Amino acid sequence: MRLKEWQLVALALSVLAATAALAYFAAHWQLAAPRLGARCVAVIRLEGTIAYSTSQLALLGATADPDEISKLIDRAASDDSIGAVVLLINSPGGSAAASEALYAKVRELAARKPVVAYVREYGTSGAYMVALPARAILASNSSIVGSVGVYVSVLTYTGLLEKLGVKVHVFRSGELKDLGAGYRELTPRDAQVLEEVVSDLFDLFKRRVLAHRSLRDPGDVFTGRPFTARQALERGLIDGVGTLDDALRLARELGGLPPDAPVLELRPPRPSLLQLLLRGYPARSPVAPSIEILAMRPPPIQP
């Protein structure tokens, strides 16, 4: 017997509702997972470019969304069963605003519980800024650390437009209103403004590093160059070179936990099917922005 059209629609809606309900309860079960019966060390991952999910930087690959990570940090701060936190970092940095937001959250967490930052592969620029409030920073032997600095990139395509015969007419309220627009070349005034932005953000970054770290050799720390773990240790950018187990061991000691204290990895809940269907993906421009303040783009280092 063939089902009528309204019956098919009702059946489809029922299946969708059931799936959404299961996903909802699964997500909330993950957030409210049973306590481990003993105080533990929480692990929070910071992986990928630090950027908000709606940022155009998300076009460049996996991102570490400050909104999602902040929720995990808040959970670690409020959960009495968590005695210490390891921030597991593998990030080249990201936007200045996103890095700033995470720095503030880690600083709040570190004021309440011991935090150990561990750099697995990259812990550079904005990601290094996020690690600064930690009680200790450790890094793997082959990791890249540092790149303390800021840059602004501007992409212009005036030559291409001329070859294509394209003319751009702009009506602006001031000479700097379209600062960094790719359809025109930078003027000396444009360059001055952008240099001031970079200088101001860099001064803030530098002050943070000096406030949190006792540098042994600051000579080239603020040139923007990256360092190997050994080089970073020599300059005082990190406190040790080791493994993730070493970071967990140190976190247990700082938190007054037993050597066998369990490890709980905090992860954001997966979005439900209904959320994906109703929300979809954030609208983004198909092209990269002409200006984006980034902390670092990792150097192409291969073993």
Which positions are catalytic? 125, 177
Measured between alpha carbons, how far is 197 from 193 in angstroms, rounded to an integer? 6
Integer angstrom CA distances of residue 300 from 106, 258, 297, 303: 29, 41, 9, 10
Identify the three-state secondary structure at position 69.
Answer: helix
CA gap 114, 204 in Å, rounded: 25
- DSSP for 186-239, written as a single string: PPHHHHHHHHHHHHHHHHHHHHHHHHH---S--TTGGGT-EEEHHHHHHHTS-S
294 CA to centre of own chain: 11
57, 89 in Cβ contact below 8 A?
no
Integer angstrom CA distances of residue 191 from 60, 126, 154, 155, 187: 26, 23, 10, 13, 6
Burial 124-140 (b: 16+ CB within 10 A, else e): bbbbbbbbbbbbbbbbb
